[in-house]
């Protein structure tokens, strides 16, 4: 039996791997400062392999920077009680840390420790005798007992909070439409328009109105009846694309190329993926194929350090395809399980930049005709309709075979994922719901549909 031909396929996405132990949930102030120091000249070039085939300076200017962060307005739409619960949880965590440090300092374990503390300590101050009702600062010190743990929000609660703007807008309009009205041609037409305007796409809008008409035509319907039917139809559209990302580890490495428009979350998503993979014991290499901006290379290097991944970068302005080729060779030599290649963000209508992407794919194929094994495109959920065209073009040029939608925290345009699923039928592996290392979750059709329809699960 040709055992060598049996592929060992590792599937990840559905089951949560162990968390990366020491990785903080957010970037530290220094990390953020390093990323934002875009204008500073890069002084690490000597640490990195030299580049061939430098990219023209005018090309470098066309690649963009990260997208704007969420506005205050976005945050204001998240239910206040959810935000408060999160803040409370963070504060309690801080207190626990402080308490444990303080307890450790106050409870030295050995005699030796005690003597060390005593010999280093300043002479004890004389405590004045105070009138009743007063206390010294010492006796007023905060309690050292650990506070009761506060429950973190579940994944579904976070998704629902993230999609709150999308669902409240949609369900509000549906409820208004069906208040004291029978289901007739007019209401069906209005509902269809409403669903299309909510970015769900014509196909899904028609599915919902057809089902509704066949079940309830001429009868009284409530907004709730409609949102339930809408959720069921959305599940039918999403279920076929909600797939785990299958890794063929017999490739050593399985090569993942990450592409997409500027600021859609490529680099951050790579960091989050690397955390999941290395957390489950796989050897991961990250390659900085975004050679346009020094800050982009630095940003990926930080994620590599945080996730215990190997890093390969090159000189600013070097040929991205050359770097990708070199990274593949190196990852093979190092017997890495997964190689993830970052690329510079580019608008789908910039032909020259899209051609560069095509070149990266072609060059990787020289080392293995199946490589890149996965071409992931990141989509920004706040973009709306333009995302449909982004997928169309990146798919044609770079052979995109899987999607990740980011920034589903706080968008009013989350419905676009349904339209993309209906039109392109490409697998959606994960969704991003924040900037933190853990804010990437496997895509689940039922969860997503319920969150969009604003119904409990």
Ligand X SMILES: Nc1nc2c(ncn2[C@@H]2O[C@H](COP(=O)(O)OP(=O)(O)OP(=O)(O)O)[C@@H](O)[C@H]2O)c(=O)[nH]1
Residues in contact with Mg ion by CB under 5 A are 266-267, 296
* C-beta of 393 vs 455, nearer to ligand X: 393
Contact between 317 and ligand X by CB under 6 A: the answer reads no
Handedness of CA 378, 384, 389, 392 (dihedral sign): positive
Cβ 415 to Mg ion shortest distance, Å = 26
State the binding string over 379-418 for ligand X (x if CB under 6 A, else -). ---------------------------xx-x---------
Cα atoms found within 13 Å of the Cα of residue 446, Cβ hemisphere only: 2
Secondary structure of 84-100 in the HEC alphabet?
Answer: HHHHHHHHHHHHHHHHH
Residues 263, 317, 322, 442: which binds ligand X (CB under 6 A)?
A: 263
Residue 326 is a binding residue for ligand X (CB under 6 A): no
Task: Name the binder of 444 from ligand X, Mg ion, none, CB < 5-8 A by kind.
Answer: none
Q: Which listed residue (167, 171, 264, 374) binds ligand X by CB under 6 A?
A: 264
Question: Cα(285)–Cα(330) distance, rounded to whole angstroms?
Answer: 9
Mention every residue, 6+ apart, whose C-beta is less than 8 A from residue 67.
262, 263, 264, 380
Q: Which of ligand X, Mg ion, none does residue 433 bind (CB under 5 to 8 Å by kind)?
A: ligand X
Q: Name which position in 279, 345, 372, 415 contacts ligand X (CB under 6 A).
A: 345
CB-wise, 296 or 408, nearer to Mg ion? 296
Q: For the chain, how long is the longest CA-to-CA vector?
A: 90
Kindly state the smallest distance separating residue 260's Cβ from ligand X, in Å: 6
> For ligand X, which stretch binds (CB under 6 A), given 248-256, 383-391, 428-436, 445-453?
428-436
- Residue 56, classed as helix, strand or coil, is coil
Nearer to ligand X, 199 or 290 (CB): 290
Question: What residues contact residue 72 under an 8 Å CB cut-off, 6+ apart?
Answer: none
Rounded Cα–Cα distance for residues 13 and 418 (Å): 20
Q: Indicate the residue among 209 and 383 with the shorter CB distance to ligand X.
A: 383
Q: Is 290 in the site for ligand X (CB under 6 A)?
A: yes
Q: Select 315 or 346, whichever has its Cβ closest to ligand X.
A: 346
280 binds, among ligand X, Mg ion, none (CB under 5 to 8 A by kind): none
Q: Which is nearer to ligand X, 233 or 356 (CB)?
A: 356
Give me the least distance between CB of 455 and ligand X, in Å please: 23
Burial class (CB in 10 A: 0-12, 13-18, 19+), 455: middle
Which residues touch 71 (CB under 8 Å, ≥6 apart)? none
Place of tokens 């899904």: 204
Residues 6+ apart with CB under 8 A from 320: 55, 289, 290, 291, 343, 344, 356, 359, 360
- d(C-alpha 11, C-alpha 18), whole Å: 15
Which residue shows structure tokens 């005699």? Answer: 111
Number of H helices, E strands in the chain: 17, 10
Question: From residue 44 to residue 83, what is the string marking binding to ligand X with x (rule CB under 6 A)?
Answer: --------------------xxxx-xx-------------
Q: Is 147 in the site for ligand X (CB under 6 A)?
A: no
Which residue, 267 or 374, is less far from Mg ion as judged by CB? 267
> Considering CB distances under 5 to 8 angstroms, the limit depending on partner class, which of ligand X, Mg ion, none binds residue 414?
none
Instruction: Rank residues 266 and 306 by Cβ distance to Mg ion and give the closer one.
Output: 266
Q: Which helix (H) or strand (E) holds 430?
A: strand 428-432
- Contacts (CB under 6 A) with ligand X, residues 167-206: none
**Residue nearer to Mg ion on the CB measure, 162 or 271:** 271
Phi, psi of 397 (to 5 degrees): -80, -45
Rounded to whole angstroms, how far apart are CA atoms 255 and 245? 12
Enumerate binding residues for ligand X (CB under 6 A): 64-67, 69-70, 260, 262-268, 290, 296, 345, 378, 406-407, 409, 432-435, 439
């Amino acid at each position: 039996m040709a055992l060598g031909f049996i592929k060992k396929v590792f599937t990840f996405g559905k089951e949560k791997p162990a968390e990366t132990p020491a990785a903080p949930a957010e970037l530290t102030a220094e990390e953020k400062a390093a990323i934002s120091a875009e204008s500073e000249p890069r002084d690490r070039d000597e640490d990195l392999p030299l580049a061939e085939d430098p990219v023209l300076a005018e090309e470098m200017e066309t690649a963009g920077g990260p997208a704007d962060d969420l506005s205050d307005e976005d945050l204001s739409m998240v239910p206040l009680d959810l935000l408060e619960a999160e803040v409370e949880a963070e504060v309690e965590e801080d207190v626990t840390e402080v308490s444990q440090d303080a307890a450790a300092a106050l409870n030295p374990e050995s005699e030796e420790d005690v003597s060390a503390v005593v010999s280093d300590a300043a002479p004890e101050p004389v405590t004045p005798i105070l009138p009743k009702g007063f206390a010294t600062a010492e006796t007023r010190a905060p309690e050292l007992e650990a506070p009761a743990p506060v429950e973190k929000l579940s994944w579904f609660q976070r998704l629902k909070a993230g999609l709150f703007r999308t669902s409240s807008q949609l369900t509000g309009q549906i409820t208004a439409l069906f208040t004291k009205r029978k289901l007739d041609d007019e209401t069906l037409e209005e509902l269809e328009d409403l669903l299309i305007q909510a970015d769900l796409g014509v196909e899904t809008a028609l599915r919902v109105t057809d089902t509704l008409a066949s079940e309830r035509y001429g009868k009284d319907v409530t907004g709730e009846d409609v949102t339930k039917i809408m959720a069921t139809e959305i599940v039918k559209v999403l279920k076929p694309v909600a797939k785990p990302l299958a890794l063929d580890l017999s490739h050593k490495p399985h090569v993942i190329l990450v592409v997409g428009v500027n600021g859609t979350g490529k680099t951050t998503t790579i960091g989050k993926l690397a955390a999941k993979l290395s957390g489950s014991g796989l050897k991961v290499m990250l390659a900085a194929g975004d050679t346009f901006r020094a800050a982009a290379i630095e940003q990926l290097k930080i994620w590599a350090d945080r996730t215990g991944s190997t890093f390969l970068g090159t000189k600013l302005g070097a040929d991205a395809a050359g770097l990708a080729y070199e990274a593949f060779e190196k990852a093979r030599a190092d017997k890495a399980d997964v190689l993830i290649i970052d690329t510079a963000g580019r608008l789908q209508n910039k032909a020259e930049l899209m051609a560069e992407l095509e070149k990266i794919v072609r060059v990787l194929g020289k080392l293995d005709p199946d490589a890149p094994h996965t071409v992931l495109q990141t989509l920004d959920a706040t973009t709306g309709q333009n995302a449909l065209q982004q997928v169309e073009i990146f798919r044609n040029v770079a052979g995109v075979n899987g999607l990740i939608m980011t920034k589903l925290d706080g968008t009013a345009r989350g419905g676009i994922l349904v339209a993309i699923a209906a039109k392109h039928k490409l697998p959606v592996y994960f969704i991003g719901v924040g900037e933190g290392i853990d804010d990437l979750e496997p895509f689940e059709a039922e969860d997503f549909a319920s969150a969009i329809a604003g119904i409990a699960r």
